Structure 1
Amino acid sequence: MERRHFLGNITTAGIFAGSIPFFASCASGKTNENSSYDREKIQKAIYAMLSTQRRSWEQGVAAQALLELGEFELVYLLAEEAVLRQDKLGRLANVASDEAVTDPASNGEPVMKMAVMYSNESFREASTKMLDYLLHKAPRTSDGIIHHITYAPQLWIDSMYMCPPFLAEAGEYDEALRQVEGLRKYLWDDRKKLFSHIWDEKKKTFERKAFWGVGNGWALAGMTRVAHALPESRMKDKEQLHGYIRECIDGCLTYLREDGLFHNIVDEPESFVETNLSQMAAYTIFRGLERGWLPASYLEAAVKMRKAAQGKMDSFGMVRGVCGSPEFDHPGAATEGQAFYILMEAAWNDLKKKKPELSQRI
């Protein structure tokens, strides 16, 4: 049986090998002027992110950003809050809402990994309950794809980031891939090479067919995390996911503006200009380059998008012009905009360390 025993075979060394907190890794002072500038901006981005009010997925993506940056003490504190607000069904960080199905699962990986790193039994139990909710309690379509919300049988592309990565990290590889394939079945447009936002299973039609930029960013980043979590024995599945990701990157880049940003609805130039998809796509490309499944030809676009996003940070560290909370219908600021700035920078930092010859080409 290939499935990993949940948590049982995970070791601190295995999860965090080579991971050093970002600021600690730069503490020697032996950095160039640009890296010092980046460090200051990342620190400001963290402060701004932690100042935001957060719902379940916002808590989860914030924790994931800090996890990939290597700031484990901050991850622990966010995980502790997610566990404190776990409901009776097992949904983590479920604050003042009974509507979320997949969003709480975005906290699953940080909670699970902090359980191992700090030998915290309550975290272990909480991550197990979150997994049990997804596997046995969450509402699904007739073909087994988990709904995004409780009050309607709808599939949202947001779920690609919230749910399958945790399933894969927990060793539920087949279920993670089932969810990826299901979301792709309902939401992928093969002509546009983009994901639509919302499918309503009861109505058998799209609730929102629009190719939402941030939604495609959720898909890119989510599939990237699933592919990374799969073991080498699932190389065929990894390669298939890499192909899906590359198709979506190509679909997005078709609409990349000269300034390195996208429109909120990527193929609708009348929609507002938006910052976060650039961060999400750059993050995905940097991870693909670092891990060797994307060719170097993608670097130029990623660097262009990163530069555009950096230019949107204000003096307080808030990334402006992202699809803005709380309604996500206007350019503004959002926890996920902060988180993906941090994720983008963490991925860029890892790429520079692993493949300095690539970063030196720009």
Structure 2
Amino acid sequence: MLDDEVRAQVLTALLVTQRHSWDQGLTAAVLDESGTAAPLRVLLDDAVARQLPDGRLAELDPLCSVNGGAVGEFVDLVAGRTGDEGLAAAAARQRAWLLSGAPRAGDGTLFHLVEGRQVWADTVYMAVPFLAATGAAVAALDQLDGHRTRLRDPDTGLWAARWDEDAGTFADPRAWGTGNGWVVAGLARTVRWLPGRRGVEVATEVRGLLDVVLPLRRPDGLLGDVLDDPASRSDPTVAAMFAWAALTGAGEGWLPAHCADVGCELLAAAVARLDPSGRVSGASAAPHFDRPGHSPEAQAFLLLADAAERRWRREHRRG
């Protein structure tokens, strides 16, 4: 667990870093978790101000197709809390883009970019929770199924990074740690929005991915940039992503309690990578994620996992 001073450093490093649309979604999650309503509203107003005419929220890169959904979840959430019609309309435009406007394969599976007809693991985080949160449960599960069919290896259970729809083969077959992290974190966000058997289905997917990934932990307690390649570097972002999913599932009761212990271990390994400025060092570096460095994703998931750990410990003591 972080102390208050270090937590403030990590948050400051996140807030002063240049961020893309999906990072705005992660930052919104951090601010919502911490209960800081005023800064969250400022962020969401800015996401709406930067909404493209086709509905993509906070999007500064017109090649990105689905990433605005990450912040859309919080635009919709705060619209519901406040009754703000402007936020509600903006969330509806983002929803319509994902449901019908965005480029997609013949079976409806979303392409990650406007150009290129590629299916990416990242999209599971960007689109599935937002669709589930806004009542499009069937569409959310359809996206999970389309991405899973193309990207998840039936033998290992790991997810490849990218699929080329036209070539009918992988554009990037690696079990990229961050890509698998987007999947597990996106699905962990989704469970809360899907009651009954649908939620159980998604929770089972999270448990299955944890079960195949956790044995791949490194001696330093982290997970790899490429999960099943011991020669690849360790990446604390991936550890924080899986820590958050494990602690969230245990805290919400849809994962076994022992998953919290694993989440705490992963979080501690990621915290050990903090530098004196509060930055997570050795992460896949933004903006190209092709070398070790720093990223908003690493900052945000560390804070989210820390919050989930604190919540778990409070509930555990109460129990």
Structure 2 residue aligned with 1:49: 14
TM-score normalized with structure 1 length: 0.85
8 Å CA contact retained: 1:69, 1:342: no
Q: CA RMSD in A?
A: 1.4
Describe the SS at the equivalent of 1:316. coil
Structure 2 residue aligned with 1:39: 4
Residue 42 of structure 2 corresponds to residue 77 of structure 1: yes
Post-superposition offset of 1:40: 2.1
Tell me the distance in 2 between the aligned counterparts of 1:356 and 1:196.
Answer: 39
Tell me the distance in 2 between the aligned counterparts of 1:195 and 1:39.
Answer: 36
Structure 2 residue aligned with 1:61: 26
8 Å CA contact retained: 2:247, 2:264: no
Residue 309 of structure 2 corresponds to residue 345 of structure 1: no
- Stretches (4+) displaced over 4 A: none
**Structure ID, larger Rg:** 1
Structure 1 residue aligned with 2:279: 318
For structure 2, the residue ranges without an aligned partner over 5 or more in a row are none
Tell me the distance in 2 between the aligned counterparts of 1:38 and 1:329.
Answer: 31
Residue 185 of structure 2 corresponds to residue 224 of structure 1: no
Describe the SS at the equivalent of 1:356. helix
Aligned length: 319
8 Å CA contact retained: 1:193, 1:250: no
Structure 1 residue aligned with 2:204: 243
Tell me the distance in 2 between the aligned counterparts of 1:157 and 1:308.
Answer: 24
Tell me the distance in 1 between the aligned counterparts of 2:265 and 2:219.
Answer: 9
Tell me the distance in 1 between the aligned counterparts of 2:160 and 2:193.
Answer: 25
Structure 1 residue aligned with 2:290: 329
Tell me the distance in 1 between the aligned counterparts of 2:157 and 2:35.
Answer: 33
Match of 1:131 among 78, 95, 114: 95
Pairing 1:83-102 to 2, within 5 Å after superposition: 83-95=48-60, 97-102=61-66
Tell me the distance in 2 between the aligned counterparts of 1:194 and 1:248.
Answer: 7
Tell me the distance in 2 between the aligned counterparts of 1:205 and 1:196.
Answer: 11
Post-superposition offset of 1:357: 6.6
Tell me the distance in 2 between the aligned counterparts of 1:338 and 1:105.
Answer: 20
Structure 2 residue aligned with 1:355: 316
Which AA in structure 1 matches 2:31?
L
8 Å CA contact retained: 2:286, 2:293: yes
Describe the SS at the equivalent of 1:202. coil
TM-score normalized with structure 2 length: 0.96
8 Å CA contact retained: 1:66, 1:342: no
Structure 1 residue aligned with 2:233: 272
Tell me the distance in 1 between the aligned counterparts of 2:44 and 2:280.
Answer: 24
Tell me the distance in 2 between the aligned counterparts of 1:299 and 1:113.
Answer: 27
Post-superposition offset of 1:121: 2.1
Q: After superposition, give the CA deviation of every residue in 1:311-361 in whole Å (9 maximum; x if it has no partner).
A: 111121111111111110111100111110111012112212222278xxx
Residue 147 of structure 2 corresponds to residue 147 of structure 1: no
Post-superposition offset of 1:291: 1.3
